[in-house]
Amino acid sequence: MENVSALELSFQMGETLLKNGAEISRVQETMERVAGAYEIDSFDVYVLTNAIFATGVEQGIEHAARMKHVPGTTIHFGRIEAVNQLSREIAQGQHTVEEAFAILKEVRALPYTKLLLSVLACAVGSACFSYLFGGGWRDALIAFFCGVALELYLYWTSRRGLSKFLTNLSASALVTFLGAVFFLLGVGENMDKIIIGSIIRLVPGVALTTSIRDFFNGDYLSGAIRMLDALLVGGCIAVGVGVVVRLLSLVTGGALL
Amino acid sequence: MNPMLLFTWAFQTLIAFVSTVAFSIIFHTPRREWLCTGITGAVGWLVYLISMGLGSGTVGASFFAAVALTWVSRSFSFARRAPVTVFLICGIFPLVPGAGIYYTGYHFFMSDNSQALATGLETIKIAIAIALGIGLVLSLPRFLFTWRREGK
């Protein structure tokens, strides 16, 4: 039986949390809680933004250091919440290891939001942000269409496995181009508000927030990794926007962009 | 206080609610938390508007909004037994300096160096203000946030 080790369970729960965008201290606490509930001796765990190291003694056998590279995160709060619930139930002694594994398997298979819904959400979000940052209703309408294009594009790039930086660079260039074209056609009122509303989807809010949390929990290394991530992604977006604006202003002979 | 301004604020808060819910859908938040994430974002934006109205400037307003929003997130997290991250990250989106990133890129590539530097610094200041706000409230002792459950 491979899948009945409590250490493995703890490890996989930690991995699920980390993959779906939880902060370091939550991963560490959850893993320790699970290990404590199943009485794994001398359990030690060290978590980084992209790796987990754990050791423990189970049934008299020491399990060697386990480490695993956890690749780039896709945020899925549903899964984080479900693992959180599971770890609470485990701490109360409600599940055997096998049961917990079965639940964890379901949690890891929790579906992503349907493409149609997430496209709609991105479009509505972009339109709302465009309005919030001072755009008029026509700007919001254009931001809506930019949002549709953006989410479809992000879906396409994620299936193609495009690198994160290239994705952000090209996606921000895409929405800037769309926004500027609509603006030049005379549909929108403020080009900046349209584009700002549309790029909020790309802005590294998750990386920034998680990095802050890691810093304040004393996980400086992970906090620094995520902060760098936020800075680089932010830089990519700025470059994507800037290059397109510059090119368009050259092509149109310095039109008022 | 003129009623027109109040109406604008109320409407903007509503829009912030909708946009936060939209972003929580993008991050696959369970449906039962949508109301709470929306409220978190709306509170953050309302506080932002009020402090801007009182003349605190963008950086100060971002700080106060981050404080309010983190406070609400932690309260929700204890009341609903869900991780703080869920409410915090969804609610933070109205505050993240998207505008700053845009103007920085814009001025940088339009060779307006002094403007690019100014907006870039402003963006970093806003990010630091948000960081301080979140960090401050997250470091507060937990009994400040658990009153809901104890009240039951």
Q: How many domains does chain B have?
A: 1
Say if B60 falls within a structural domain. Answer: yes
Say if A60 falls within a structural domain. Answer: yes
Task: Report pLDDT digits (tens) over B55-75.
Answer: 888 999 999 999 999 999 999
Give the pLDDT confidence score for residue B152 in this predicted structure: 40
Please check whether residues A32 and A119 belong to one and the same domain.
Answer: no
Residue A69's contacts (CB-CB under 8 Å, 6 or more residues apart) are A50, A51
Answer whether B134 sits within 8 Å of A117, measured CB to CB: no
Answer whether B22 sits within 8 Å of A215, measured CB to CB: no
Give the pLDDT confidence score for residue A1 in this predicted structure: 42
Say if A173 falls within a structural domain. Answer: yes
Please check whether residues A131 and A165 belong to one and the same domain.
Answer: yes
Note down the domain range covering A212: 115-252
Please check whether residues A103 and A169 belong to one and the same domain.
Answer: no
Say if B22 falls within a structural domain. Answer: no
Last residue of a domain, one of A108, A136, A167: A108
> Contact, A196 vs B99, CB < 8 A?
yes
Say if A257 falls within a structural domain. Answer: no
For residues B38 and B41, what is the distance between their CA atoms, to the nearest angstrom? 5
Note down the domain range covering B62: 28-141
Lowest mean per-residue pLDDT among A61-70, A185-194, B74-83 = A61-70
Please check whether residues A95 and A179 belong to one and the same domain.
Answer: no
- Which residues of A are less than 8 Å from B109 in CB distance? 239, 241-243, 245-246
Give the pLDDT confidence score for residue B114 in this predicted structure: 93
Give the pLDDT confidence score for residue A182 in this predicted structure: 87
Say if B10 falls within a structural domain. Answer: no
Say if A166 falls within a structural domain. Answer: yes
Say if A59 falls within a structural domain. Answer: yes
**Can you tell me the mean pLDDT for A236-244?**
92
- Which residues of B are less than 8 Å from A179 in CB distance? none
Q: How confident is the model at residue B37 (pLDDT cuts 50, 70, 90)?
A: very high
Task: Report pLDDT digits (tens) over A61-120.
Answer: 777 656 666 666 678 888 999 998 998 888 888 888 888 888 888 888 888 888 899 999
Minimum-distance CB partner of B139 among A77, A216, A242 = A216
Distance (Å) from the alpha carbon of B108 to chain A's nearest alpha carbon: 7
Give the pLDDT confidence score for residue B66 in this predicted structure: 95
Q: What is the DSSP string of A139-208?
A: HHHHHHHHHHHHHHHHHHHHHHT--HHHHHHHHHHHHHHHHHHHHHTT--S-HHHHHHHHHTTTS-HHHH
Say if B128 falls within a structural domain. Answer: yes
Say if B40 falls within a structural domain. Answer: yes
For residues A87 and A50, what is the distance between their CA atoms, to the nearest angstrom? 21
Residue percentage of chain B with pLDDT more than 90: 52
Say if B74 falls within a structural domain. Answer: yes
Task: Report pLDDT digits (tens) over A213-223.
Answer: 888 888 899 89
Average pLDDT value for chain B: 88
Please check whether residues A83 and A127 belong to one and the same domain.
Answer: no
Please check whether residues A219 and A240 belong to one and the same domain.
Answer: yes
pLDDT exceeds cutoff 80 at B22: yes
Please check whether residues A173 and A188 belong to one and the same domain.
Answer: yes
**Dihedral of the CA atoms A47, A52, A54, A59 (nearest 10)?**
130
B18, B32, B85: best to mutate for the A interface, most A CBs within 10 A: B85
Answer whether A205 sits within 8 Å of B93, measured CB to CB: yes
Give the pLDDT confidence score for residue A98 in this predicted structure: 84
Residue A55: strand pairing partners:
A44
- Which residues of A are less than 8 Å from B130 in CB distance? 208, 212
- Which residues of B are less than 8 Å from A197 in CB distance? 98
Length of chain B measured in residues: 152
Answer whether A213 sits within 8 Å of B25, measured CB to CB: no
Kindly identify which residue of chain B lies nearest to residue A120, measuring between CA atoms: B22
- Which residues of B are less than 8 Å from A117 in CB distance? 25
pLDDT exceeds cutoff 50 at B151: no
Q: How many domains does chain A have?
A: 2
Please check whether residues A35 and A125 belong to one and the same domain.
Answer: no
Give the pLDDT confidence score for residue B112 in this predicted structure: 87
Q: Tell me, what DSSP letter sits at residue A20?
A: T
Last residue of a domain, one of A45, A74, A108: A108
Say if A76 falls within a structural domain. Answer: yes
Task: Report pLDDT digits (tens) over B108-142.
Answer: 888 889 999 999 999 999 999 999 999 999 888 87
CA A11 to chain centre: 20
B14, B19, B92, B138: best to mutate for the A interface, most A CBs within 10 A: B19
- Which residues of B are less than 8 Å from A212 in CB distance? 130-131, 134-135
* Higher local confidence (pLDDT), A254 or B47: B47
Pairing assessment for the beta strands A41-48 and A51-58 based on DSSP bridges: antiparallel
Please check whether residues A99 and A138 belong to one and the same domain.
Answer: no
Residues 80-99 of A with CB under 8 A from B: 80-81, 84-85, 88
Say if B2 falls within a structural domain. Answer: no
- Which residues of B are less than 8 Å from A183 in CB distance? none
Say if B102 falls within a structural domain. Answer: yes
Please check whether residues A91 and A142 belong to one and the same domain.
Answer: no
Last residue of a domain, one of A108, A131, A154: A108
Please check whether residues A124 and A96 belong to one and the same domain.
Answer: no
Q: For A36-162, list the strands marked E by DSSP.
A: 41-48, 51-58, 61-69
Kindly identify which residue of chain A lies nearest to residue B136, measuring between CA atoms: A216
> For residue B123, with 0-12 CB atoms within 10 Å meaning exposed, 13-18 middle and 19 or more buried, which class applies?
buried
Answer whether A216 sits within 8 Å of B94, measured CB to CB: no
Task: Report pLDDT digits (tens) over A120-175.
Answer: 999 999 999 999 988 888 889 999 999 999 999 999 988 888 888 899 999 999 99
Say if A180 falls within a structural domain. Answer: yes
Say if A1 falls within a structural domain. Answer: no
Minimum-distance CB partner of B138 among A132, A192, A216 = A216
How many A×B Cβ pairs under 8 Å? 169
Answer whether A133 sits within 8 Å of B16, measured CB to CB: no
**Can you tell me the mean pLDDT for B41-50?**
94
Task: Report pLDDT digits (tens) over A17-75.
Answer: 888 888 888 899 899 888 888 888 888 888 888 888 888 887 777 776 566 666 666 78
Q: Structure tokens of B38?
A: 């929306």
